[in-house]
A and B are shown apart, each in its own frame.
Chain A
């Protein structure tokens, strides 16, 4: 049995070897990474997706298949959190971990001020995802944070976790259906159902629709996760 110091020395030596391998791989960086995709997106991205923000264009058009599974992993993780937490859904009046008498009054007052601003900012990020930095995932996380603040304001707030998860599943199905619409209009799945020839104002309809659906789904998913944590802390 080695002592703990010598074990740590062996670990550091092994990590130095891994670091050396990584540094050696960087010598041939040009074969690992080049600017070809960047130039393509810069020249054709705006015409093909109708999105000023190229990241949103990639997420919702070129790589929509990835984004679908990203949202799916969020759904699976939410299901896992609920399944692991042994909360009884019949319990209608849970005592939340946040105790109003231990939360400072100053925090509650400022939370009342910040809550509507944060919710409005989340909606702004979602709706302007194709014009400015942001999109469905980021705006959904902001809106979920605003809902978390709501628990600090009102201690007796009750959440029907089962209904939220049902809404989230319906939203996920709606995202898949909107993504599959292009199968009927352009005969290729998982892209914009409006052809680029129709003009940018119609392409934006698709982008905003999908951003809103993804944003609502992410917000409901994160809401479910932290409600499960609050109920676990009883």
Chain B
């Protein structure tokens, strides 16, 4: 059941990406999709009663450390990609005077 809920978060991000007219909103929709993917992966290795994957005394059941290690990569890459996208937004605003897709593409249809 939990993977389905995280997939809904991903779909919310896709819906916003398809319908938003503001470029900054589009960038944050990409961030929402990323959050959904991170939750999905962390859900896979998780189970009831599992402890953090640190070896110590009287540790009997740990959650899977591999998805956590992979998701560190996702978080670092996501933050840098967001920074690059926002810098491109600033450049687009300086060039076109607007951060709306409809004005940048020269269409009047602001839906």
Q: Which residues of A contact B (CB under 8 A)?
A: 4, 7-8, 11-12, 15, 18-19, 22-23, 26, 29, 33, 35, 37-38, 41-42, 45-46, 52-55, 57-59, 63, 66-67, 70, 73-74, 77-78, 80-81, 84-86, 131-133, 135, 137-138, 218, 221, 225, 228-229, 232
Contact = CB atoms under 8 A, between A and B. Distances in A.
Contacts of B15: 11-12, 15
A131 B63 CA distance: 17
Main secondary structure of the interface of A (DSSP, over half): helix
Interface string B53-67: 111100000111110
Given A15-B15, A54-B62, A77 B73 contact: no
A67 B4 CA distance: 30
Nearest to B52: A133
Given A53-B54, A63-B69, A70-B73, A26 B80 contact: no
B104 interface: no
Nearest to B8: A19
Q: Classify chain B's interface size.
A: 35 or more
Contact of B80 (A29, A42, A67, A78): A78
Interface in B33-57: 44-45, 52-56
A229 B91 CA distance: 11
Contact of A54 (B19, B53, B70, B83): B53
B53 A85 contact: no
A58 B11 contact: no
Contacts of B83: 77, 81, 225, 229
Contacts of A23: 4, 7
Contact of A15 (B11, B63, B66, B84): B11
A51 B76 CA distance: 22
